[in-house]
Structure 1
């Protein structure tokens, strides 16, 4: 498996200025970091994922760019397919879409009303996005989405891999049935290994395969002088799990946890700081020095 480690952006703290976006992109590319990921947080002071990916693709030449994750239900799947096709044409081989079923923050969820049960809407929308990215003429008649002789172009010369997030049983089975990869979060290494087995079993039942190196994990790293906002959220979300199994403190603990995930079959990582670094330049230099040697 190819082990790859990308960087996830985090909403800035009010009192901590962020570096100019161009400067951040230039430094990430210069350091050889594999990928940069943008969360789908409507109310946060962060750029929209797909807009940011388009801008970053024009600013960089090598950096892969991911949406981690973009919520699909509530968005027009034809428009999403068109946006992804455009991005893939402008930056071939560098666009990494990951979709989710619902927004992480409760305040964002009412902004995207959906016409039916979220899981059913997700299944239809993802199916339609894939059909549009892989076919020149698509007619689709679903319960919640429909189109006649639709086309988006230019279509990617190589089909885009469509990944999904989520950690519940239904979400994991959906990955096996419909997706090309998985980006999990807030799971221990043992739980990630079990999730991987669930996905593979669902894929086998559906007559599909998910590549062995298409299993990923979002990982938050804390530091003694930067506890950040994630500690309390994780404790509320997973009250019976040792927090060190989910949120390492310091680079050494992060390396150890990444190796444990890798032993469980996870090979793609999106690592972000628990809070805003006091110096992004320092954080990026340490990220490259401490984590990139783990890549294979």
Structure 2
């Protein structure tokens, strides 16, 4: 089992030091969340709460994922980096290709990208990107990014993007795994058809079994059920080796954990556990590594 930690709601300045602690204690990686802005007058209701309101305050920090990943990669040696998730279609294709390639040049084979279509129309409009065709553009972006990251003279022609022959350097020294998030039929089909894996949210074991069953059904439909495939999600419950062994039996290859915080409290809007100096993270990181990480293959 691969153990990933999230960075949402933490203080940006503390994250490189926390990454070093995770690296030293055998965790597999860090997943970085993404938002561009917090509009004062938001047009889009948040889909994950009954009243459509966000559960984080306006002053919450959402650092640029690739700047942060590069900074953490520079102070670690084994830790891997990904997203939960990155709203790629809110940005121009070449900007995404360039930022990820640069981070991969710094981190080597320790970088993956976890993409999603996103939900906040406001962000797309502020960046001049079409919200209504974001899913179809994301489908094309997956193949386009892989082409643009090959190195040398590269180009792309598709329905939405027309990139003439050019070089983009530095290019990733190794192929960058592409994962996708989301639970809609379109999102699960995208992951099953185009991607190297899927990034979920937080589930009980029963909930995880249901959504993974849907995902694997689509993988069978596309003839990809026997290909290597990463499945990353938070598993809700008391953290024990048994919980994560049962998650592995469902096909989950990586779990996102926060040894320093309570998931329910965090998602109820209480972020006190996440707003502290980096050194305060050391004890829970080391304890979880000893009690859980070291006991699972």
TM-score range (shorter-chain normalised) is: 0.7 to 0.9
Q: Check the 8 A contact 1:98/1:162 in 2, yes or no.
A: yes
Structure-1 residue corresponding to 2:244: 258
Structure-2 residue corresponding to 1:163: 179
Q: Return the alpha-carbon distance in structure 1 between the equivalents of residues 226 and 180 of structure 2.
A: 12
**More deviation in 93-102 or 78-87?**
78-87
- What is the aligned-residue RMSD (CA, Å)? 2.8
1:169 Cα shift? 1.4
Structure-2 residue corresponding to 1:29: 23
Q: Aligned ranges for residues 265-284 of structure 1 at < 5 Å?
A: 265-272=251-258, 273=261, 274=263, 275=266, 276-277=272-273, 279-284=280-285
1:106 Cα shift? 7.5
1:131 Cα shift? 1.6
Query: Where do 5+ consecutive residues of structure 2 fail to align?
Result: 39-59, 267-271
Q: Aligned ranges for residues 173-184 of structure 1 at < 5 Å?
A: 173-184=189-200
1:109 Cα shift? 5.9
Q: Aligned ranges for residues 113-128 of structure 1 at < 5 Å?
A: 113-115=128-130, 116-128=132-144
Q: Return the alpha-carbon distance in structure 2 between the equivalents of residues 55 and 92 of structure 1.
A: 13
Aligned length: 259
Structure-1 residue corresponding to 2:290: 289
Query: Where do 5+ consecutive residues of structure 1 fail to align?
Result: 220-246
TM-score with structure 1 setting the length: 0.76
- Helix, strand or coil for the counterpart of 1:59? coil
1:210 Cα shift? 6.6
Q: Check the 8 A contact 2:34/2:86 in 1, yes or no.
A: yes
- Helix, strand or coil for the counterpart of 1:269? strand
Structure-2 residue corresponding to 1:6: 4
Q: Check the 8 A contact 2:180/2:199 in 1, yes or no.
A: yes
Q: Return the alpha-carbon distance in structure 2 between the equivalents of residues 18 and 179 of structure 1.
A: 29
